[in-house]
Amino acid sequence: MRSHYKSFVLFTICIAACLGMAQSSVNATTQSEPNAPKSKRENQIEKEEQSERMLGVIPQLGTTNRQNAPPLRPPEKFHLFLKSAFDPAEFGVVGLQAAISQSTNEFPEYGQGAPGYGKRYGATLADEVSAGFWANYFYPVLLKEDSRYFRLGEGTIKHRIRHALLQEVICHTDKSERSFAWENILGAFTAGSVSNLYYPPAERGFGLTMSRSAIAIGYGSLGALVDEFYPDIARKLSHHHEKVSAQN
């Protein structure tokens, strides 16, 4: 058990060190590339966008309906990462994932019972925080990319599916251009590599790291589809509910 605590401490130290490096990058960027202040209206729109929740619970904080949305400054990217990674709903999702992992005896070295669940919960939470840190903050700041999902919201279903899937590999930049989404790819592989610090020895290694990273990229694509189509589904469900209520 002690080795697991050591691994988690190493992971925490790694994240703290990277936070320091990224903050230095933030300061350098702020000093060398000052941006014009955003209007109160723009700040209000961003605040509203970062309050969106699926089913009123699951956060959709990194989604915007505006294709021309102004880029986020480094401190805003950091704020979005923190808000997404440590949203109360995320702890519940992590708990559910840990319960499923325990029921299927994933990572058998963790054992069963409360200690096994605690280790699985810790590993899952570390996965979520690490993935968010690298893909939504560190690399977006370093490479000047925008980690938000830019929802199309119109057009044919086929076109919108293509738009959603492509955003895993093509992103908006801070110069309002398009670029290869290094933030997603490097973020997935970095998080997969860092997980070797706290996963059981049998779950470490190059092959498993590559496999976990590829799966994370695949889940990112599925998440983009949810971000694209959930508002349409919610509107239809609401319209159906209103129609049924009117009939009654």
Residue-wise pLDDT for 124-133, tens only, equals: 999 999 999 9
Within-domain flag for 47: no
Q: Is 135 inside a domain boundary?
A: yes
Residue 74 belongs to a domain:
yes
- How many domains does the chain fold into? 1
**DSSP label of 135:** I
The pLDDT of residue 50: 72
Q: Is the pTM of this model over 0.85?
A: no
Nearest to 134 by CA among 206, 195, 68, 218: 195
Separation CA 27–CA 200 (nearest Å): 37
- Asked if residue 233 belongs to a domain, the reply is yes
Name the residue range of residue 91's domain. 2-11+68-247
Chain centroid to Cα 1, Å, comes to 29
Establish if 33 belongs to a structural domain. no
Is the residue at 54 inside a domain? Answer: no
Pair of tokens at residue 8: 């988690």
Burial (Cβ within 10 Å: 0-12, 13-18, ≥19) of residue 77: buried
Q: Taking 90 as the threshold, does the pLDDT of residue 182 lie above it?
A: yes
| Domain assignment of residue 16, yes or no | no
Residue 13 confidence class, pLDDT cut points 50, 70, 90: very low
Buried b (16+ CB within 10 A) or exposed e, 24-36: eebeebeeeeeee
Return the top range by mean pLDDT from 12-21, 43-52, 134-143: 134-143
Residue 171 belongs to a domain: yes
pLDDT in tens, 217-245: 998 999 999 999 998 988 888 776 566 66
Least confident of 18-22, 65-69, 121-125: 18-22
The residue behind tokens 């889940």 is 219
